[in-house]
Amino acid sequence: MAEGELQRVVGDNLRRYRQGKGWSQEEFAHELGVHRTYMGSLERGERNLSLRSVERLAASLGMEPLELLSERP
């Protein structure tokens, strides 16, 4: 697994979650209490998140952290 892969997977899973809800990035950013531009960079996998940030994101989505970190087919 190349370096930077985990943050890309988290971004993909966040985007999948958002689209499943039919939310815009703005609505999703509001839901998570983060800035819209930060939301975009998260989804694009540009953020080298800490483990606790992943845990907080997962908790606010009602997911387990490993779900957010695991690639979906």
User: Could you tell me which residues come within 8 angstroms of residue 7 by beta carbon, excluding any fewer than 6 positions away?
Assistant: 45, 46, 47, 48, 49
Q: Compute the least distance from the CB of residue 51 to its own copies, in Å.
A: 4
How many CB atoms are located within 10 Å of the residue 29 CB? 19
Q: Compute the least distance from the CB of residue 24 to its own copies, in Å.
A: 26
String of DSSP letters for 32-45: HTS-HHHHHHHHTT
Site for its own copies, rule CB under 8 A? 1-7, 10, 48-52, 54-56, 58-59, 64-66, 69-70
Q: Compute the least distance from the CB of residue 50 to its own copies, in Å.
A: 5
Task: Give the residue with the Cβ less far from its own copies, 22 or 66.
Answer: 66
